[in-house]
Amino acid sequence: MKPLTQRSKSVSNKKMTFMERIYLPAIFGGMWITLKHFFKKKNTVSYPEETRPVAPIYRGQHVLKRDDEGRERCTACGLCAVSCPAEAITMDAAERENGDEHLYREEKYAKKYEINMLRCIFCGLCEEACPKEAIFLTDRIVDADFGRGEFIYGKDKLVEKVDERIDVSKRQVWDYH
């Protein structure tokens, strides 16, 4: 019968030679291959102590930016959520109260802003959709964890600290103003 693929092999019933019967050459051959691997360059790295270099425009964990005066830029317009193909972003908008002008740049702000990092595919569409230069992806890697709940990142993890700004200049490829 004609074989369906070209991968079939005919089995030979030839008698084993003496060297094949004592198995030692095969064992030493296998050990030689193992030994050679000891001296080969390792493909693995000891993460997190060691990290691989990433591309300058690597898309990792998001940041919600503040302006030069430390006010949150996000105005909770929802464009990032609408553009997200993974439906990973949710938010609650609120009106800025009198006296909160130093906290929020716009009259409306995101009271709650969450990204589900398990849904996110790091496509960067949220960043492109944002009219306020408020959300950027960074070169930070989302930490591994044991619980699914830990991957819902709220404002505590997303908004940059006033005294610990995150450089996103590599991702600002065009002028928004």
Encoded one letter per residue, x for contact with ligand SF4 by CB under 6 A and - for no contact, window 2-31 reads ------------------------------
Instruction: Identify which range of 12-20, 28-36, 39-47, 127-135 contacts ligand SF4 by CB under 6 A.
Output: 127-135
Three-class HEC string of 93-110? EEECCCCCCCCECCCEEE
Report if residue 122 touches ligand SF4, rule: CB under 6 A: yes
Cβ–Cβ contacts within 10 Å for residue 64, how many? 22
168 sits in which H/E element: none
Strands, E assignment, 49-159: 62-64, 89-95, 108-116, 135-137, 152-153
In the chain, the amino acid numbered 82 is V
- CB closer to ligand SF4, 76 vs 139: 76
CB 138 within 8 A of CB 63: yes
Shortest separation between residue 152's beta carbon and ligand SF4, angstroms: 12
Shortest separation between residue 45's beta carbon and ligand SF4, angstroms: 25
Encoded one letter per residue, x for contact with ligand SF4 by CB under 6 A and - for no contact, window 45-74 reads -----------------------------x
Of positions 94, 103, 123, 142, contacts ligand SF4 by CB under 6 A = 123
Angstrom distance (rounded) from CA 5 to CA 8: 7
How is residue 37 written in tokens?
Answer: 């691997």
Of positions 90, 124, 155, 157, contacts ligand SF4 by CB under 6 A = 124
- CB closer to ligand SF4, 29 vs 56: 56
Report if residue 135 touches ligand SF4, rule: CB under 6 A: yes
DSSP-assigned letter for residue 139: S
- Rule CB under 6 A: which of 78-107 touch ligand SF4? 78-80, 83-86, 88-89
CB 72 within 8 A of CB 64: yes
CB 105 within 8 A of CB 67: yes
Could you list the residues that contact ligand SF4 (CB under 6 A)? 74-80, 83-86, 88-89, 110, 115, 120-126, 129-130, 132, 134-135
